[in-house]
């Protein structure tokens, strides 16, 4: 009985903690629609571990930006669950995408919770939109295939070169998504403490540098928002899907002309929030159903938003309980 009461109290306290104590809605200010281009670079399996690797490119790119190493991943900490949430702005419980489903079912328009590419297409009918990925489930099963998004795929190295060629050819996408996968491969085989794991993050760091420089050299960072985000991390032994800190804490880093320099965002930022941030930066009204939100201390002069928990109370309860387990396993493990 005592145990039950203490669990209930913990949940109540947690609810209080995760509801940020700032204004309810973001103002529509100078950052809304201030960007012509949003670049989302996803690093699969990298978790929070940019923090512990030698990443000179990441450091220079985000020297004037906001970096959070403890953004929360989607529960369950698996790839499609997370890339699905990052690209649709709703929880896994809502979008229902899994690795199996995204590999088997081609995504087209007309689904209940479309990706942010659909909203970008509606807002900008003639705009260039692109997604170049290593793990093709994203292009096949998450981003709609009938809305004119330029798509390509290949190994991390091939993807990096294709992206550089793409920008050097003069392409100016409004929304651009990338996913690199090799960190996840090393994580699976050797775990998140292995020197090889950090060496792979450092390889990705060099690729990030090349991607950023290609974008910047072609003048697109002037009105560009550049985001690096991870879907999940890895356990010490390798693998993910669970609730340990190593799996659930992820990197979320942003730089752009109105991003608060040196910010660490707020304590309840999630990787899912990338969907809200991208739409806001491009000046696209967010659909009412989304539970992604604008973190506090991201854009200058813009208050953060409360997590709209009533829109997805199942996810909120699951996330709260999961976080308690994360805290316990973080302490013990």
Q: How is residue 57 written in tokens?
A: 């490119």
312 lies in the binding site for Zn ion (CB under 5 A):
no
Residue among 211, 301, 299, 253 nearest 35 (CA) = 299
Among residues 154 and 308, whose Cβ is nearest to Zn ion? 154
Instruction: Identify which range of 61-69, 116-124, 141-149, 178-186 contacts Zn ion by CB under 5 A.
Output: 178-186
Q: How far apart are CA 230 and CA 248, in angstroms?
A: 10
With tokens 């294709």, the residue in question is 162
63-92 binders of Zn ion (CB under 5 A)? 79
Among residues 79 and 160, whose Cβ is nearest to Zn ion? 79
Residues paired with residue 131 on neighbouring β-strands, in sequence order:
151, 177
The minimum distance between CB 65 and Zn ion, in angstroms, equals 23
The minimum distance between CB 236 and Zn ion, in angstroms, equals 17
Cα dihedral across residues 258, 263, 269, 270: positive or negative? positive
Among residues 162 and 185, whose Cβ is nearest to Zn ion? 185
Q: How far apart are CA 282 and CA 120, in angstroms?
A: 8
The minimum distance between CB 100 and Zn ion, in angstroms, equals 14
192 lies in the binding site for Zn ion (CB under 5 A):
no
Among residues 184 and 305, whose Cβ is nearest to Zn ion? 184
The minimum distance between CB 251 and Zn ion, in angstroms, equals 13
Instruction: Identify which range of 115-123, 124-132, 181-189, 309-317 contacts Zn ion by CB under 5 A.
Output: 181-189
Q: How far apart are CA 59 and CA 67, in angstroms?
A: 10
Contact map string, positions 116 to 155, toward Zn ion, x by CB under 5 A: ----------------------------------------
When binding is defined by CB under 5 A, the residue of 20, 41, 44, 163 that contacts Zn ion is 44
148 close to 123: Cβ distance less than 8 angstroms: no
Q: How far apart are CA 47 and CA 183, in angstroms?
A: 10
The minimum distance between CB 81 and Zn ion, in angstroms, equals 9
Contact map string, positions 222 to 261, toward Zn ion, x by CB under 5 A: ---------x------------------------------
The minimum distance between CB 188 and Zn ion, in angstroms, equals 9
The minimum distance between CB 137 and Zn ion, in angstroms, equals 10
315-323, long-range: CB within 8 Å, 24+ apart, which pairs? 315/75, 315/91, 315/92, 315/93, 315/94, 315/291, 318/75, 318/93, 319/72, 319/75, 319/91, 320/11, 320/14, 320/15, 320/18, 321/11, 322/75, 322/243, 322/248, 323/14, 323/18, 323/72, 323/248
Among residues 151 and 185, whose Cβ is nearest to Zn ion? 185
Cα dihedral across residues 109, 173, 249, 20: positive or negative? negative
Binding stretches for Zn ion (CB under 5 A): 44, 79, 184, 231
């Amino acid at each position: 009985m005592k145990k039950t009461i203490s669990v209930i109290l913990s949940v109540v306290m947690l609810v209080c903690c995760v509801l940020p104590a700032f204004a309810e809605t973001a103002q529509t200010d100078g950052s809304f629609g201030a960007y012509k281009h949003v670049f989302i670079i996803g690093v699969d399996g990298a978790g929070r571990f940019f923090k512990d690797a030698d990443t000179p490119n990441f450091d220079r790119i985000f020297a004037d930006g906001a970096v959070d190493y403890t953004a929360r991943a989607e529960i369950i900490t698996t790839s499609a669950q997370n890339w699905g949430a990052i690209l649709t702005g709703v929880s896994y419980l809502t979008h229902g995408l899994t690795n199996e489903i995204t590999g088997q079912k081609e995504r087209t328009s007309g689904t209940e919770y479309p990706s942010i590419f659909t909203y970008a297409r509606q807002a900008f009918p003639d705009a260039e939109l692109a997604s170049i990925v290593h793990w093709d489930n994203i292009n096949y099963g998450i981003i709609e295939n009938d809305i004119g998004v330029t798509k390509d795929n290949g190994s991390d190295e091939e993807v990096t070169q294709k992206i550089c060629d793409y920008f050097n050819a003069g392409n100016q996408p409004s929304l651009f998504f990338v996913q690199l996968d090799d960190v996840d491969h090393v994580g699976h085989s050797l775990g998140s403490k292995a020197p090889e794991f950090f060496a792979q993050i450092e390889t990705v760091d060099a690729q990030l540098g090349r991607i950023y420089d290609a974008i910047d050299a072609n003048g697109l960072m002037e009105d560009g928002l550049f985001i690096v985000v991870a879907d999940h991390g890895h356990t010490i032994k390798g693998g993910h899907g669970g609730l340990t800190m190593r799996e659930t804490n992820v990197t979320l880093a942003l730089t752009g002309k109105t991003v608060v320099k040196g910010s660490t965002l707020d304590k309840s930022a999630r990787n899912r929030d990338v969907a809200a941030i991208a739409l806001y930066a491009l000046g696209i009204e967010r659909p009412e159903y989304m539970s992604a939100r604008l973190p506090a201390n991201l854009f200058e002069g813009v208050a953060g938003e409360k997590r709209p928990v009533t829109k997805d109370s199942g996810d909120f309860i699951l996330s709260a309980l999961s976080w308690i387990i994360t805290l316990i396993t973080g302490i013990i493990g």
